[in-house]
Structure 1
Amino acid sequence: MANIKIEMSKEQYETLVESVFLGSWMVNSTKMELDEAFEDVRELVLSKYKEGNLEDRITHHEQLGVHDLDVDYESQLLATYVEEYDEFSFWDKLVEKLVEKKMTELYGPLEGEMTEEHMEKRLELEENIGRKLEETGVTKLSFDE
């Protein structure tokens, strides 16, 4: 197996550390067992922390043989990127699910490719529901139970 070497600036290394942390966090955050392939890459990248002058952000746990981000640095990354992503994806997914529900009410279960009429209606619903949610948030959502 051929090894790959990458040269990068310290700023690029810091961005790589953040990217690898966020990527492995996303992959593993919902699993009972860690994805070892992602963890191996994470460990490899973090192990170069001294070369990247990130001693204040990455620590090595000798007993466990692993590297970790400093708790404050990790919290900062989660707050900066994950919370923003969660907020955006929540609204995006909510619109998608509400549109699917409305489309099923209007046309029954849609199977196969959508007709042009269905696509136009879906776009119209996405726009209307998205605008309504932007104006009111979830305060006007109701469920008939």
Structure 2
Amino acid sequence: MQVKINLNREEYELLIEIFYIADWVLNAYKTTEDDEIDRYRDLEQKILSRAKEFGLQNIVEWDPSMRVYQYTREFEENNPAMEFIEDFEEDTFWDELVERLSMRDLVEEYGEESVMEMDVFTRLEKLDKYRVKYLEEFEKNGLQNVQVF
């Protein structure tokens, strides 16, 4: 079964931005090819291939050497999706840092085996004391007091 979706130029451009965000999440930090994401890439290519019909060659171009449609430099430098990506990465960084340091400290205090035996509520309750400590520190000082020995 096939479904036709009618998009105006503004909706199509928004769809391109959404695909850009998805592509970033899937590929930004990959260093090797991943066959599992080919189906996402194939759909992205199908959508990007229609850019010319919408008069959007300024945001999508054909790369004959790689035989793929890709985002133009102009699009990558000026699209609003990058703001969402940057906000996401900033929030993720601080959340992950707090969570990993809190878990490290919990394991250091109680031992890995004991932490693994804790019920979820107890573990979360004990983690909260570390989270609060790190959240307050990072909110006040950022990374200023972080040192690696």
Compute the TM-score of the two structures, normalised by the length of structure 2.
0.80
Q: Find the counterpart in structure 1 of residue 122 from structure 2.
A: 117
C-alpha spacing 1:3/1:65, structure 2 compared with 1 (3 Å): farther
Q: Find the counterpart in structure 1 of residue 40 from structure 2.
A: 38
C-alpha spacing 1:47/1:36, structure 2 compared with 1 (3 Å): same
Contact 2:102–2:130 (CA<8 Å) still a contact in 1?
A: yes
Contact 2:19–2:44 (CA<8 Å) still a contact in 1?
A: yes
1:91-142: per-residue Cα shift (whole Å, max 9, x none)?
1110011100111122211215535333222123212211111101111123
Separation (CA, whole Å) in 1 of partners of 2:87 and 2:125: 30
Equivalent residue for 1:103, pick from 95, 102, 106 = 106
Separation (CA, whole Å) in 1 of partners of 2:120 and 2:76: 46
Equivalent residue for 2:142, pick from 121, 137, 140 = 137
C-alpha RMSD over aligned residues: 2.3
Contact 2:58–2:75 (CA<8 Å) still a contact in 1?
A: no
- CA drift of 1:79 comes to 4.2
- CA drift of 1:76 comes to 3.3
- The aligned length equals 143
Separation (CA, whole Å) in 2 of partners of 1:107 and 1:136: 28
SS in 2 for 1:50: helix
Q: Find the counterpart in structure 1 of residue 59 from structure 2.
A: 57
C-alpha spacing 1:21/1:114, structure 2 compared with 1 (3 Å): same
Separation (CA, whole Å) in 2 of partners of 1:48 and 1:103: 52
Runs of 5+ unmatched residues, structure 2: none
Separation (CA, whole Å) in 1 of partners of 2:31 and 2:3: 29
C-alpha spacing 1:62/1:138, structure 2 compared with 1 (3 Å): closer
1:60-88: per-residue Cα shift (whole Å, max 9, x none)?
23454421111121133474233332222
Q: Find the counterpart in structure 1 of residue 24 from structure 2.
A: 25
Q: Which has the higher contact order (CA 8 A, sep 6+)?
A: 2
C-alpha spacing 1:60/1:102, structure 2 compared with 1 (3 Å): same
